[in-house]
Chains A and B, each alone.
Chain A
Amino acid sequence: MGALPFLARAATLGERRFLFVFCDGGWDPTYALAPLFGHPYAEMDGGGEVATLGGLSWVDGPDRPAVSDFFRAQAARSALVHGLEVRSVAHERCRRILMTGSAGEGVDDWGAVLGAKAAVERVMPHLVVAGPAFSSRYAASVVRAGRGEQLPQLLGGWSRLDSDLTVRGPSAGAAAAVEAALARRLERQLEQADAQSAAVARGALDALERAAVLEQRAGELDFGAGEDFDDQWATAVECLRTDLCRCAMVRFAGLYNLTFDTHAANTLQASHFELLFQSLGRLANTLDSTAGPDGLALSESTTLVVISEMGRFPMLNEQGGKHHWAFTSALLWGSGVRGGTVVGGYDDTMQSAPTDLTTGEVSAAGEPLTAAHLGATLLALGDVDPGEVGSTPPLSALLDL
């Protein structure tokens, strides 16, 4: 058993932060995360073999060495969750279920909830640099950066904005005067309006104040992320470092942005996982070497949540690909995560194996895992009572609080 060079510690100061990495398209866990060799139905890549370090097992393959590089370095801080049921095979619906626990509209994803319920008020409670986001009740806590650097443009004012009609923009003094006048007006309306109107006024005033703070600090940030994954998470890390956000979402789309949706040529999963884990390795190192607002390494207070909206059908189809599968895996890393842990599994039919939530082991007395279990776990990590959002308990086997 290899030495575990690092033990995850609970954040000693402040709140836990979250960085969500959404791997678009529905990955095949058997290519990297779930070594199901010998499974009666799972067709494994012929070149792969199981690798183990501590309590963690993964798939090592010659065409994706970055996976093993990552786990050999990070096993002590990593946990895998297997057999998460997303109850659908439609991409959009699976995303919603994975990230909110529900198929319906009018729900909030885990980042929005964690951002909204943070004990510390932040300018951007949940920053969506790229990737999906679902918000309803906590929509005001979600800030989208925009597909084409729109947020920095809005922050930069008319020196950065484009318009066919000439606009120079107000002077700094005039702009400040208007902002102050608007704030006074909204505060007055807070006092005079009916309850519902007051809520809107309060939201507008809150947005105004947060925008002002972000505007002052805009020069410190580089929101120029675009589609490059490393640029995206660099932006997210910077916002976590400066405590501008508690949660951030980024999107990984794989080699040539083909995504993990390999209905044909499932071997592309190797390329996608190779690139993903190369970048995750850099991200982990960055979090280790970047001090957070409390002076400690960001890795001390940040939980990385690496997810994909669905899995892949266990067997190959006629095109050498794999279709959709309603069960998937997730990787958690960092703060509050019990490293070297594997929770859940796939039963003989590649569905969620009943799991003891306390030990994480497959057990006939346990329960099948769903996206709601993952969400409850994240909420628990974030000091939010999972009962506030639903009735599903967290995977306490994952928690190192």
Chain B
Amino acid sequence: MPIEITMPRLSDTMEEGTLIKWRVRAGDKISSGDVLADIETDKATMELQSYDDGTVAQLAVNEGETVPVGQLILVLAKEFESIENAVAAFDSGVDVGATTPTVAEESVSKESASATTTAASPVQAAPPSGAERIRVSPVARKIAEEHQLDLTTVRGTGPDGRIIKRDVLAVVGSAGAPAAPSPTATTAGVSAATVSGGLVSLEGKAVPLTNMRKTIARRLLESKTTIPHFTVTVSVAMDSLLDLRATVNAQLAEESGSSDSGGAASAGGRAMKLSVNDFVVRASALALVQHPAINASWTGDTILHYGTINIGVVVALPQEKGGGLVVPTIRDVSNKSLQQISEETRTVAKKAREQRLGPQEMSDATFTVSNLGMLGVEHFEAIINPPQSAILAVGAAIETPVVRDGQIVLGREMTCTLSADHRVIDGVMAAQFLRTLKQTLENPAVLLM
């Protein structure tokens, strides 16, 4: 910081002083003790001495001028400070008097040239103006993060352009609206078009990437480009399983209705319904026990057969919350009962939808099951989650004509498609795994054991 030298109080009664004569010029290097000027007080003319070392940056008062005690008369740049900055900082805008300019300018330019060459560049007195730093209040920053809002798009109305809570909420409020109603808006638009023949207009917009979307993009691209995927599909007759499931669920509902038996299933009296996916997860685990080569990982120089069976269950997140998916892990599935699997899946899926899953709960899966059956999908192929080697894609159990014992009958058929890493799993291995899976699902009593 440059030093301000002000009109000193050279006597008790002094109110103002007259600068009779400057003894230094702008650009002069001075040391402590040097005389800076002659100052006339009410009593006498005295010399003003400097207490500091430095370079005279600017003379702020003209010779002959009378100024009150305390007013700035001289700006002194300290060692390594540049004179321009010191002058700019005080900007008294005073002309240094007719006689001195040419001499002063030369010495100023000479001095400032040497000053700037000696001054290290980070020692700029004035901070860079037009700072790229955004001023945000802590809670505004937090809200922006929660909504994955880019702060550079927000206008700040706080002091110094600070972005505050109401600014962020204003943007979130207006941006939040399109996300939820857009599915309904577009469907309404389409139906309106068919009915009234009006134009359907889409809302063209750039949706910023959420962290989840970025992660999904990165991982799945890595998977598809580095793992040689191939797929094998079987169609499973689900009639027995669906009947069994209905029976078991009815029984569980009954048990919880008469809740003084208070079985482990009905904590708080709610019936725990088993889902088709619970059966598939358990069946996959049992099949993996018999085909451990599917529960494996390519490490580059070995194929690692995992010591446990941890199954990742794909959970889709609601569109209103930004969509995306997470894959919580159910650990040690082969040693868990169907009910345990069901409860755990339910708990962890709920947490997943509320985005409360911890990293521990999303790691260490050795196999993944992805189910789009609830949306009526017949068949699809999923992408393997590295470092796993396989993923099972399950469709809906659809009522369809099938051939049984030479007759065409109605049956409920569900496709199971295994996507496998060909470095680890060959076609035959995949087919054998699926055959076991199919047999298990078609003879589901074993799943209850």
Chains A and B bind each other: no
**Chain A residues proximal to chain B, CB less than 8 Å:** none
